């Protein structure tokens, strides 16, 4: 688990053909891509867990292939979040949390619960869902990030509700989804999705510098808190370069 005022910067997944020969060296075996990526970035958000159920041995393998201090953020399975009545998600939440994610041990970062873009903020139902989220698995504390995508969540009531259950809103830099931040949250989770293919790092160095300034504000001051930043989706081929530039600027 990340220590206080820790910063993690990474990308979404590690298997993407356009990264071969640009981020990954020519000829690198596909089986070595996680090993390579995890030594140049400090975290990866795993998207595969959103669509598929993985075995405990797979999580243990990921743990073994990555260096000390590396963290994985896991997107929870969509069966838990893509439903009309979130209060009925208890079985799906339990299946995901008990699927073997504890095998990541000290490399288990936040769990991301991503909701449908059409899912409207219904406070009672959403609170019922938050009450289902466990605080720990096999004695290891869990941190939950809520990736909501409907404009109705852009109200002070949402982050206040999330905070009561120890959860944080995902702050998304996107043209399509609301950017919801909570200055009082226990940690920050950022997904940067405005990458441009004609910009070598997806974001300009000046834009990355502004994000770096924001990261320092979170990790400094009277109340230092952890920050997770992922360059993801938009111009995905540029994401590793953007993540490494942010790490460089923060160094």
In tens, the pLDDT along 104-143 reads: 999 999 999 999 999 999 999 999 999 999 999 999 999 9
Query: How does residue 234 score in pLDDT terms, banded at 50, 70 and 90?
Result: confident
> pLDDT value at position 1?
36
Distance CA 94, CA 89 (A): 9
Give, in order, the Cα–Cα distances in Å from 172 to each of 69, 156, 185.
Answer: 25, 16, 15
The second-level CATH assignment, the architecture, of 7-250 is Alpha-Beta Barrel (3.20)
> pLDDT value at position 222?
85
> pLDDT value at position 221?
83
Helix (H, G, I), strand (E, B) or coil at 181: coil
Query: How does residue 233 score in pLDDT terms, banded at 50, 70 and 90?
Result: confident
As a whole number, the mean pLDDT across the chain is 96
Percent of the chain with pLDDT over 70: 98
The helix-helix angle for 157-164 and 123-130 (nearest 10°) equals 20
Give the Cβ contact number of residue 221 at 10 Å: 10
Strands 43-46 and 144-147: unpaired
In the predicted model, is pLDDT for residue 167 greater than 80? yes
> pLDDT value at position 3?
42
> pLDDT value at position 2?
39
Query: How does residue 214 score in pLDDT terms, banded at 50, 70 and 90?
Result: very high
Q: What average pLDDT does range 64-88 have in this prediction?
A: 97
Q: What average pLDDT does range 43-60 have in this prediction?
A: 98
Q: What average pLDDT does range 76-100 have in this prediction?
A: 98
Helix (H, G, I), strand (E, B) or coil at 113: strand
What does the domain layout of the chain look like in residue ranges? Answer: 7-250
Q: 249 Cβ partners below 8 Å, 6+ apart?
A: 205, 208, 209, 212
């Amino acid at each position: 688990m990340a220590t206080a005022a820790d910063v993690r910067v990474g990308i979404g997944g590690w298997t993407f053909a356009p990264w071969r020969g640009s981020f990954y060296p020519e000829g690198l075996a596909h089986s070595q891509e996680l090993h390579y990526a995890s030594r140049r970035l400090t975290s990866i958000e795993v998207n595969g867990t959103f669509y598929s159920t993985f075995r405990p041995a797979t999580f243990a393998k990921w743990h073994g292939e990555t260096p000390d201090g590396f963290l994985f953020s896991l997107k929870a399975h969509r069966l838990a979040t893509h439903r009309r009545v979130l209060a009925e998600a208890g079985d799906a939440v339990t299946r995901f949390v008990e699927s073997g994610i504890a095998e990541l041990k000290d490399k288990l970062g936040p769990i991301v619960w991503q909701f449908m873009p059409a899912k409207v903020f219904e406070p009672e139902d959403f609170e019922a869902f938050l009450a289902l989220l466990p605080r720990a698995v096999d004695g290891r504390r869990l941190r939950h990030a809520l990736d909501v995508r409907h404009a109705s969540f852009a109200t002070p009531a949402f982050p206040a509700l999330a905070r009561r259950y120890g959860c944080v809103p995902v702050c998304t830099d996107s043209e399509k989804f609301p950017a919801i931040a909570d200055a009082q949250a226990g940690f920050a989770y950022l997904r940067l999705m405005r990458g441009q293919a004609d910009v070598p790092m997806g974001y300009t160095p000046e834009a990355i510098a502004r994000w770096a300034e924001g990261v320092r504000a979170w990790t400094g001051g009277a109340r230092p808190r952890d920050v997770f930043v992922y360059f993801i989706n938009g111009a995905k081929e540029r994401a590793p370069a953007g993540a490494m530039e942010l790490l460089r600027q923060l160094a």
